Amino acid sequence: MTVSTYDDIAEWYDSWVGTHSMHEDPYFPAVAALMGEVAGRRICDLACGQGRVARHLAGLGAHVVGIDLSAKLLEIARRHEEAVPRGIEYLQADAQSLDGEALGTFDGVVCFMALMDIPDLAPTLRSVARILQPGGWFVFSILHPCFHTSQSGEMNSPEGAVRTVSRYFMEGYWRSDTRSGPPGKVGAYHRTLSTYVNALTDTGLQLARVSEPRATGDLADSPSLSGLSRPVWAEVPAILVVGCRKGTPKQDA
Ligand SMILES: C[S@@+](CC[C@H](N)C(=O)[O-])C[C@H]1O[C@@H](n2cnc3c(N)ncnc32)[C@H](O)[C@@H]1O
């Protein structure tokens, strides 16, 4: 199995995301809104990391399987499960090559802030489609590809904070020393918006809803460790949230 770059930064990542609940996460509500009711549903938290989303969903009554490539992050997730059992199953697997038969079928797959960490999008989406039951949902959030590239940043202007972006069309791996979060540590994979939308469509995942949460109030005013709460995010969206459905097979007339 491929070694995860997150193994090297697992402890850092765990403390970076902190101990707050997903209720307090500024951007999770936009994801939750697209997932809808989760109680009683079988849900896969894809690229679950140390399991913060998995724990949240299990707390709401979902049957959760968390999948991640990083053995170290899964170790932290399993420690939580041992301390407070929530019935979460954790599997180490590469999202780009999930074995659908072994994993069964899910009512929903959520992938929170991770698709841009995975090198190959098309095989990952095919994995998602394979493990979803027909009509099942796939909800993901990513760093907004229009505002995070290898050459993006911000500057102050008399009118306020301005996001600067170039190299939008340059897809592929990038890493920036000026970034405080994962793109500064392990880098990320940039893709244009059209690449995301077309890859979903090619996989038979039908786009249902898109959301671009705007930072308001404290979130826009007070700089945070994550770097995702800054005035500039009241001007342009920091993240993109997408909800899709797996099509149901056509019935013969
Ligand atoms: C930014 S973290 C997000 C983790 C988690 N969803 C959260 O919100 O805390 C990105 C995650 O993607 C995982 N990842 C990267 N490549 C992967 C792959 N090919 N298959 C499965 N997980 C992968 C990393 O190990 C890491 O846990």
pLDDT of 236 reads 94
Reported as a single tens digit per residue, the pLDDT across 201-237 is: 999 999 999 999 998 766 666 555 455 667 899 899 9
Q: Which residues line ligand 1 (CB under 6 A)?
A: 4, 6, 17, 47-49, 52-53, 68-70, 73, 94-96, 112-114, 117-118, 182
Reported as a single tens digit per residue, the pLDDT across 23-65 is: 888 889 999 999 989 999 999 999 999 999 999 999 999 999 9
Sign of the CA dihedral 203, 200, 127, 244? negative
pLDDT of 227 reads 59
pLDDT of 215 reads 84
Question: In the predicted model, is pLDDT for residue 169 greater than 60?
Answer: yes
Average pLDDT of the residues in 66-84: 97
Distances (CA, A) of 174 to 13, 42, 117, 153: 19, 35, 10, 14
Best mutation site among 48, 64, 125, 131 for ligand 1 pocket (most ligand atoms within 8 Å of CB): 48
Cβ atoms of 174 and 165 within 8 Å: the answer is no
Reported as a single tens digit per residue, the pLDDT across 107-150 is: 999 999 999 999 999 999 999 999 999 999 999 999 999 999 99
Best mutation site among 8, 68, 115, 143 for ligand 1 pocket (most ligand atoms within 8 Å of CB): 68
Reported as a single tens digit per residue, the pLDDT across 172-197 is: 999 998 888 999 999 999 999 999 99
